[in-house]
Amino acid sequence: MNKTLSKAGGVIAALLANPVLAETATKIDQYQLNLTKGVTDISADVYDLHMLMFLICVVIGVGVFAVMFWSMWFHRKSKGAKPANFHESVKVEIAWTVIPFIILIAMAIPAAKTLIAMEDASEPEVTILVTGSQWKWNYKYMDNDIEFFSNLATQSEQISGKLPKGENYLLEVDRPLVIPTGKKVRFLVTSDDVIHAWWVPDFAVKQDANPGFINDAWANVNEPGVYRGQCAELCGKDHGFMPIVVIAKEPADYAIWVNEQETIQKQAKAEEQRLLAMNMSMDELMSNGEKVYMANCAACHMPNGEGLPGVFPALKGSQIAIADQPKHIDIMINGVAGSAMQPYAKQLTMSDIAAVVTYERNAWGNNTGDMVQAKDINVAMNGQ
């Protein structure tokens, strides 16, 4: 990259931008004007390329407009300008066809270089499968036994304005992705339903998540920190509410985190097995079920169970919720193809699924009196 150009770009950016720009990335900058430099070598290259293109465009624009405004000022009829007679000039016309062409080639070369570097996904040290679904991300570490969902953590009261909005409003999740610094991390990106796009500006990574297909992207993060992004492809109702948070840790800290997570996930599985043997009371099921319902189901089926007519079905009075219990459990576990209803077997524990099914069969006047226990869920999931 041309040093002087990018330096000049920096000067312009500094002139345009608010001085706050220089401060830490996490601090909210209300007047950020420019692209982030990011925290990878690639994102820095992309930034330089962006500034180079921007400057070339500014120079061209200023040049053309200067000529135009010159003639608007000096060649006006009110100043007695008499129209000239020329209306073509082969030389000039060839010149302004060829010169832009040369400028374009000058632009294309550094762009091609950066692109080829970006697309070289060989020899990754960590591979993570990123799966988008309406409207959350799932992260699965291919080299370790770690898998989890990452949901929006902003309270709905903040969105509706009942509570003041926090610093990271809409850019915070319950479980962020953790990656090591200084290592090539490969992201395999796919989707469970519609097309999403996984975008972290600080890594200059934006990759569409196509259902049934995998794409890849990678990042080698230089500095530890918290990096935030969002889904970038319209994916339905809550497209604006599926952020991405990535925490980059030093390799040693990362190793500790991985161990911790593996232990936690193992323990959780053991705990789930233990709970299988236990029967819960109706009260326990209902109160736990309500909690799970509000956190996972109410966004679509609404807190009153009435759904959104024509978009999300009502549970209140639904045949499945008051009669067909095996189907009810099946839908909870496996989801419904071609709808926003996801398989919750991966997202919730068996006892939570049991509780929420019980809740849905007894709330809002669905009073079936049915009780579903974790072991029923286990049978449905894993066979007899």
Partner 1 sequence: MSTATEELHHDDHHEHHIPSGIKRWLYTTNHKDIGTLYLWFAFIMFLTGGAMAMVIRAELFQPGLQIVEPHFFNQMTTVHGLIMVFGAVMPAFTGLANWLIPMMIGAPDMALPRMNNWSFWILPFAFAILLSSLFLEGGGPAFGWTFYAPLSTTYSTDGTALFVFAVHIMGASSIMGAINVIVTIFNMRAPGMTWMKMPLFVWTWLITAFLLIAVMPVLAGAVTMVLTDKFFGTSFFDAAGGGDPVMFQHIFWFFGHPEVYIMILPAFGIISQIIPTFSRKQLFGYASMVYATTSIALLSFIVWAHHMFTTGMPVAAELFFMMATMLISVPTGVKVFNWVATMWRGSLTFEVPMLFAIAFIVLFTIGGLSGLMLAIVPVDFQYHDTYFVVAHFHYVLVTGAIFSIMAAVYYWLPKWTGKMFDITLAKWHFWCSLISVNVLFFPMHFVGLAGMPRRIPDYALQFADFNKWISIGGFAFGLSQLIFLALLIKACRKQGEPVSAQVWEGAEGLEWEIPSPAPYHTFETPPVVK
Partner 2 sequence: MSVSSGQSQNSKLVMKLVFAVIGMFGFGFALVPLYDVLCDLTGINGKTSDTAAVYESVLIDESRLITVDFITRTNTGMPWKFSAQTRRVKVHPGQMSQVDFTAMNPTGRDIVGQAVPSVSPGPAAIYMNKTECFCFEQQTLKAGEKVVMPMKFYVDPQLPKDITYFTVQYTLYDVTPEGQDVAMNRR
Interface residues with partner 2 (CB under 8 A)? 119-124, 127, 129, 131, 133, 142, 188, 190, 192-193, 210-216, 313, 318, 320, 326-327, 330-331, 333-339, 341-343, 380-384
Minimum CB–partner distance for residue 178 and partner 1 (Å): 21
Residue 53 CA from chain centroid, whole number? 27
Instruction: Return the residue of 14, 23, 236, 324 that touches partner 1, per CB under 8 A.
Output: 236
Q: Which does 282 bind (CB under 5 to 8 A by kind): partner 2, partner 1, none?
A: none
Of these partners, partner 2, partner 1, none, which one is at the site of residue 247 (CB under 5 to 8 Å by kind)?
none
Long-range contacts of 272-275 (CB under 8 A, 24+ apart): 272/349, 272/350, 272/351, 272/374, 275/349, 275/350, 275/351, 275/374
Pick from 171, 177, 179, 285: which binds partner 1 (CB under 8 A)? 171
Which of 193, 360, 370, 376 is the binder for partner 1 (CB under 8 A)?
Answer: 193
The label of the residue with tokens 């992260």 reads 139
320 binds, among partner 1, partner 2, none (CB under 5 to 8 A by kind): partner 2
Q: Is 311 in the site for partner 1 (CB under 8 A)?
A: yes
280 Cβ contact partners less than 8 Å away, ≥ 6 residues apart? 288, 351, 354, 355, 373, 374
Smaller CB separation from partner 1, 268 or 311: 311
- Asked if 65 touches partner 1 (CB under 8 A), the answer is yes
Alpha-carbon distances, residue 51 vs 31, 292, 327 (angstroms): 18, 48, 57
Task: Tell me the three state secondary structure of residue 200.
Answer: strand
- The minimum distance between CB 160 and partner 1, in angstroms, equals 6
Question: How far is it, in rounded angstroms, from Cα 289 to Cα 363?
Answer: 10
List 4, 82, 252, 277, residue binding partner 1 (CB under 8 A): 82
Q: What is the CA radius of gyration of the chain?
A: 28
Find the shortest distance in angstroms from Cβ 317 to partner 1.
Answer: 17
231 binds, among partner 1, partner 2, none (CB under 5 to 8 A by kind): partner 1
Cβ proximity to partner 2: between 215 and 222 the closer is: 215
* Residues 148-167 within binding reach of partner 1 (CB under 8 A): 158-161, 165, 167
The sheet carrying 126-133 orders its strands as: 146-150, 136-141, 126-133, 184-191, 215-220
Residues 6+ apart with CB under 8 A from 245: 150, 171, 172, 173, 176, 177, 226, 227, 228, 229
Q: Closest CB to partner 1 among 212 and 369?
A: 212
**Residue selected from 15, 22, 24, 88 as contacting partner 1 according to rule CB under 8 A:** 88
Rounded to 10°, the helix 90-118/41-74 angle is: 160
